[in-house]
Amino acid sequence: MSTKKNPSALLHARRQWLTGTASALGAVGLGSWMGPAAAQTAAAAPAAAAAAKPLPAYAAWKNAAQLIQHSSSTLETRRSAFGTSVITPASQLYVRNNLPAPDAAILDDRDAWTLSVEGVKNPRSLRLAELKTLGLETVATVIQCSGNGRGFFPSKPSGTPWTVGAAGCVLWSGVPLRNVVTALGGLADGMLYITGTGGEKLPEGVDPGSVIVERSVPIKALEDALLAWEMNGEPLSLAHGGPLRLIVPGYQGVNNIKYVKSLAFTAQESKARIMSHGYRMTPAGAKAAPDQPSVLEMGVKSWINGPLPETGPVKEGLVQIHGVAFGGTQAIKGVEVSVDGGKNWYPARLVGPDLGRFAWRQFVLSVRLPAGSYTLASRATDAQGQVQAELREENLSGYNNNSWRDHAVTITVV
Amino acid sequence: MSTKKNPSALLHARRQWLTGTASALGAVGLGSWMGPAAAQTAAAAPAAAAAAKPLPAYAAWKNAAQLIQHSSSTLETRRSAFGTSVITPASQLYVRNNLPAPDAAILDDRDAWTLSVEGVKNPRSLRLAELKTLGLETVATVIQCSGNGRGFFPSKPSGTPWTVGAAGCVLWSGVPLRNVVTALGGLADGMLYITGTGGEKLPEGVDPGSVIVERSVPIKALEDALLAWEMNGEPLSLAHGGPLRLIVPGYQGVNNIKYVKSLAFTAQESKARIMSHGYRMTPAGAKAAPDQPSVLEMGVKSWINGPLPETGPVKEGLVQIHGVAFGGTQAIKGVEVSVDGGKNWYPARLVGPDLGRFAWRQFVLSVRLPAGSYTLASRATDAQGQVQAELREENLSGYNNNSWRDHAVTITVV
């Protein structure tokens, strides 16, 4: 319904903005939730920009060799780079920004960063220095763009064609959000959502609600949510949302608000377009609308990271097939691996430390393979018995691709 | 006894070498196990070199701002850099090399690296590519130089004056050493030690046994030992022993042989000087000798990483006192924190994921502090009930400093 709300005025405003800042916007890789005109303009640029380019300034410290640069704000980890040691190093972690990253000057005095909190008994603003006094927790989570796996949709949805590399497993340190709520007197009555707002500078000349990064998650997420200032043992970088990021363990990446400036406990979802129309499970051929399911908790998913076709033929004999598996808010119970495209399945072994139910597990199947061609697939089961689906759920924007079949790879053994 | 074995010839050879390569050697920071003359020469250089210098080439990718560069082969993590998210990023991890790092060309073809294995039923050499077929495991360990804490010894032992930063907690991926033994037919009879030899280029003109990095650990370490090719999700760097390193979980750093070229299961300890005289718990005033205890398993230890005097005065009110605790081969049962220099102790909370008994745990004590001066200390207890000692065990070379008193810090609250 509200897709129809004054669409020409919105499109006009967006076109103006796009005209003024076409290259910056194209680089940002804005998705289909902006509306057709903006999406088309934005979609054209990343393809052209995909040739080898230096990394953007805010991410120049990353390992370019292990990243696919779709645009200046969409960097994907190469599948062959994931390795087997559970944690994704910052230098290889994917980036997906919905707006250009803020000026790096916001990191000059991290403790001075201010967060406003509303929807509590005693709403007020808190400096990061004060947040650091309210408690400390560390949690390992899978952080994943909901469009991860979009590249496997034959429908070629608009948006970045990620395969598996818009995901990683990292450690966050910060204060549990519930501690902050307690310090501010508890929740106001009737609040059903946690609504976080990013501190990006908004482009001028457009309705702020059409571009602002503001997302609402159900209040139940309060139990695990964290306000994080550190990732993988280092102060949180600009590329990953520093100085302060809302972490909602088990939820798709977009809900983990970078440069979080405002947290509101609200009775309703945000009206921002990124919430009302963005990141919805819109049926193919339909238009995004607020009554379609939003992209929130991640489902059970796994994929194989080695051996891969891109790393060349494999020598016959013993082969270690390895990959990652996670269950969103659920722990992983087990992973099966197939070497014949899903006809037969063998239980894989989970390896390495278990970093908790929000992290991914590494798995390995040791198998003796004679020369030939093999289609490797993995299928995870979570602690509640949910099994990773064979087929993707078709949708307009290519979200939530958990299909084991889409993630299969065919290798040659010689 | 064998300290006496032809000492003048040994010293002569070493002096010659030192004359020829004085700056390189000084940079290496060779320790007292080399004998008095070499140690004196080596000790002089690091002090002069301590001024701000660019990082050495093999570690140029590290975060210089978070490291103290004692010499080109002794880099220490700043205490304030440890953070609270369990894993130490590679960019901040300490380095201590006993010999100059090999040429980086050894990483050009990682899979071609060759390891010879002896003391098994079917001894032979294996390429790294073959090791990668024999199994896969990931383990988190504390890696720590046995001289960590030497800087707290009033006796100022020769060697790098590390305080707390010659340690980190990282993830290693590779093949369990016991898999390799199985693949080679099992252990030969009567073998009591695992003896690993590093692949460093040895300086010419000296007895190889006087400088080669070769260490023996008891055969019981076979249960947990790993041949690792990956650290923290990335192929193992030259700085940390790539392409292949022997990891002996729970054992002091020197036993985790970098660039491991040879593994021998042996009936006796290596006769190399670094084993026979180096890294021994030599009484103050005595000379190193093979009958003194070697530096093997780490003991229970903890220290506080924040707040610290170097990060400035702390605001009065709630303060989060945090640090790390580990027990070598034993898990941590608990940590107590004192704010009055050890008169009273309060149980701290362990935070974040438990990465297994070889990893360290982060701990935090949330405490309300009025303005004043506070001496913060931590005291860990391992799963077997061993309590971290108040006082260091005095020894010639400043090894194994687990003293909680030495690690205390005094902060100002305003």
Q: How far apart are CA B306 and CA B319, in angstroms?
A: 9
pLDDT for res A33 = 53
pTM exceeds cut of 0.80: yes
Distances (CA, A) of B363 to A298, B49, B332, B357: 30, 35, 11, 15
For the domain spanning A57-277, the CATH number is: 3.90.420.10
Burial class (CB in 10 A: 0-12, 13-18, 19+), A28: buried
What is the DSSP code string of B181-193?
HHHTTSBPTT--E
Structure token pair of residue A398 = 């290519």
pLDDT for res B52 = 62
Q: Is the ipTM of this complex over 0.85?
A: yes
Give the bridge partners for A49, in sequence order. Answer: none
Contact between A41 and A60 (Cβ < 8 Å):
no
Tell which B residues from 157 to 186 touch A, by Cβ distance under 8 Å.
Answer: 171-173
pLDDT for res B36 = 40
Structure token pair of residue B221 = 């370490």
Q: Put residue A165 in one of left, alpha, beta given phi > 0 → left and psi -120 to 50 → alpha.
A: alpha
Neighbours of A336 (CB within 10 A): 22
Q: Put residue B183 in one of left, alpha, beta given phi > 0 → left and psi -120 to 50 → alpha.
A: alpha
From chain A, the residues in CB contact with B230 under 8 A are 83-85
Contact between B172 and B137 (Cβ < 8 Å):
no
Tell which B residues from 219 to 258 touch A, by Cβ distance under 8 Å.
Answer: 230-235
Q: Cβ A91–B231 below 8 Å, yes or no?
A: no
Q: Put residue B27 in one of left, alpha, beta given phi > 0 → left and psi -120 to 50 → alpha.
A: alpha
pLDDT for res A52 = 62
Distances (CA, A) of B241 to A308, B107, B132, B246: 26, 10, 17, 9
Q: Is A354 helix (H, G, I), strand (E, B) or coil?
A: coil
The interaxial angle of helices B36-49 and B7-20, nearest 10 deg, is: 30
Look at residues B377, B15, B409 and name the one whose alpha carbon lies nearest to residue B210: B15
Partner residue facing B320 (CB), from A82, A136, A322: A136
Q: What is the mean pLDDT of each run of 10 residues along chain B (414 residues)?
A: 34 33 38 44 38 85 96 96 97 96 97 98 98 98 98 96 98 98 98 98 94 98 98 97 98 98 98 97 95 97 98 96 98 98 98 98 98 98 98 97 98 98
pLDDT for res B412 = 98
CATH number 3.40.630.30 given to B301-413: no
Phi, psi of B308 (to 5 degrees): -130, 150
Q: How far apart are CA B278 and CA B289, in angstroms?
A: 8
pLDDT for res B187 = 98
The interaxial angle of helices A36-49 and A7-20, nearest 10 deg, is: 30
B315 Cβ under 8 Å from any chain A Cβ: yes
**Residue B108 neighbours by CB under 8 Å, 6+ apart:** none
Burial class (CB in 10 A: 0-12, 13-18, 19+), A351: buried
Provide the edge-to-edge strand list for the sheet that holds A124-127. A124-127, A114-118, A260-266, A193-198, A214-218
Partner residue facing B136 (CB), from A173, A232, A322: A322
Give residue-wise pLDDT tens across range B323-348: 999 999 999 999 999 999 999 999 99
Task: Search chain A and give the residue with CA nearest B316.
Answer: A133
**Which residue out of A128, A234, A240, A350 would a mutagenesis test of the B interface target, given it has the greatest number of B Cβ atoms within 10 Å?**
A234
B126 Cβ under 8 Å from any chain A Cβ: no
Distances (CA, A) of A231 to A129, B82, B142: 17, 12, 19
Q: How far apart are CA A118 and CA A195, in angstroms?
A: 10
From chain A, the residues in CB contact with B235 under 8 A are 83
B341 Cβ under 8 Å from any chain A Cβ: no
B311 Cβ under 8 Å from any chain A Cβ: no
Dihedral of alpha carbons B24, B30, B35, B36, sign: positive
Do you find a cis peptide bond into A100, omega within 30 degrees of 0?
no
Contact between B163 and B70 (Cβ < 8 Å):
no
Task: Search chain B and give the residue with CA nearest A367.
Answer: B133
Residues in chain A with pLDDT < 70? 1-52
Give residue-wise pLDDT tens across range B114-171: 999 999 999 999 999 999 999 999 999 999 999 999 999 999 999 999 999 999 999 9
**What torsion, rounded to 10 degrees, do the Cα atoms A70, A71, A75, A81 define?**
40
**Which residue out of B84, B172, B367 would a mutagenesis test of the A interface target, given it has the greatest number of A Cβ atoms within 10 Å?**
B84
Contact between A334 and A364 (Cβ < 8 Å):
no
3-state secondary structure B303-315: EEEECCHHHCCEC
From chain B, the residues in CB contact with A138 under 8 A are 84-86, 351-353, 362
Structure token pair of residue A148 = 């991860």
B180, amino acid identity: V
Q: Please list the residue range(s) of chain B that carry CATH number 3.90.420.10.
A: 57-277
What is the DSSP code string of A100-152?
PPPPGGGGTTGGG-EEEEESBSS-EEEEHHHHTTS--EEEEEEEE-TTTTGGG
Q: How far apart are CA A191 and CA A194, in angstroms?
A: 8
From chain B, the residues in CB contact with A322 under 8 A are 136
Q: Cβ A171–B90 below 8 Å, yes or no?
A: no
From chain A, the residues in CB contact with B139 under 8 A are 352-353
From chain B, the residues in CB contact with A173 under 8 A are 83-85, 352
Contact between B155 and B282 (Cβ < 8 Å):
no
A313 Cβ under 8 Å from any chain B Cβ: no
